[in-house]
């Protein structure tokens, strides 16, 4: 995916959210956005590899479906990413080709890779939609300043300069706060923080 296309997708993700809401974490607004866009949403029993789908049946509205197995409390981030991924297929007009999208585990990837070009685009949309740049930067700086205030970190003009070589304990604290606020997975959060140059790249298990 080109840099220009990534930027275009980011703007489309922001536009869809801003069309209906001005504040609040996007994950908490997704169901309302789906309804406002006149889409259908349901959770169904699916096979092990099935995560979500965007389908069109006859003259019915477009229908977003997700595997009910994602309702496990430990999979909140995965469920939200899957819903946002299917919303991405809709917002990016992938459905206009007449294709229904039945997305498997290998298509809905929070590291942004895997699947065909349309799946990769939907993955990027999902990450940008769930973690808008302005909101993420604001919440990251809020967390960072609280650590500076309590003497946990040295005050830096650019927080990423300190976080780049942060120990696991600092990263885990940061990830814990932001994951809870945005209801996303560690993988999605890390990728967006790296893209915004707030942290450097490091293994996900750190």
Model confidence, pTM = 0.86
Residue 60 and residue 110 in contact, taking contact as beta carbons nearer than 8 Å = no
Higher pLDDT, 150 or 144: 144
| pLDDT at position 29 | 96
Residue 197 and residue 160 in contact, taking contact as beta carbons nearer than 8 Å = yes
Both tokens of 52, joined, read: 């979500």
| pLDDT at position 148 | 58
Distances (CA, A) of 177 to 131, 147, 191, 195: 14, 12, 16, 19
Average pLDDT on 159-179 reads 70
Helices then strands, each counted (H, E), the chain: 8, 4
DSSP per residue over 68-91, as a string? Answer: GGGGSGGGHHHHHHHHHHHHHHHH
> Which range has the worst mean pLDDT, 14-18, 110-114, 130-134, 178-182?
110-114
For the chain, domain boundaries: 3-130, 133-195
Average pLDDT on 10-23 reads 96
Both tokens of 147, joined, read: 């650590």
Residue 127 and residue 112 in contact, taking contact as beta carbons nearer than 8 Å = yes
pLDDT at 154 over 70: no
- Of 53, 105, 84, 104, the C-alpha closest to 182 is 84
Residue 6 CB partners (closer than 8 Å, separation 6+) = 124
Average pLDDT on 79-105 reads 85
The proportion of the chain whose per-residue pLDDT surpasses 90, expressed as a percent, equals 48
Distance CA 103, CA 201 (A): 28
| pLDDT at position 180 | 95
* pLDDT confidence tier of residue 168, bands split at 50, 70 and 90: low
């Amino acid at each position: 995916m080109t840099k220009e296309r990534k930027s275009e997708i980011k703007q489309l993700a922001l536009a869809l959210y801003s069309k209906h809401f001005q504040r609040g974490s996007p994950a908490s607004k997704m169901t309302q956005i789906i309804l406002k866009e006149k889409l259908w949403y349901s959770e169904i029993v699916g096979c092990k590899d099935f995560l979500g789908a965007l389908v069109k049946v006859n003259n019915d509205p477009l229908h977003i479906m997700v595997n009910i197995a994602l309702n496990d409390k430990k999979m909140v981030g995965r469920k939200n990413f899957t819903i946002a991924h299917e919303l991405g297929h809709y917002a990016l007009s992938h459905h206009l080709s007449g294709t229904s999208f039945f997305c498997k585990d290998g298509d809905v990837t929070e590291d942004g890779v895997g699947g065909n070009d349309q799946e990769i685009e939907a993955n990027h949309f999902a990450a940008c939609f769930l973690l808008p740049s302005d909101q993420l930067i604001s919440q990251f700086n809020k967390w960072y300043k609280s650590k500076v205030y309590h003497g946990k970190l040295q005050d830096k003009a650019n927080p990423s300069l300190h976080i780049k070589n942060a120990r696991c304990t600092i990263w885990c604290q940061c990830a814990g706060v932001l994951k809870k606020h945005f209801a996303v997975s560690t993988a999605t959060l890390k990728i967006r923080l790296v893209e915004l140059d707030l942290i450097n790249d490091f293994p996900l298990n750190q």
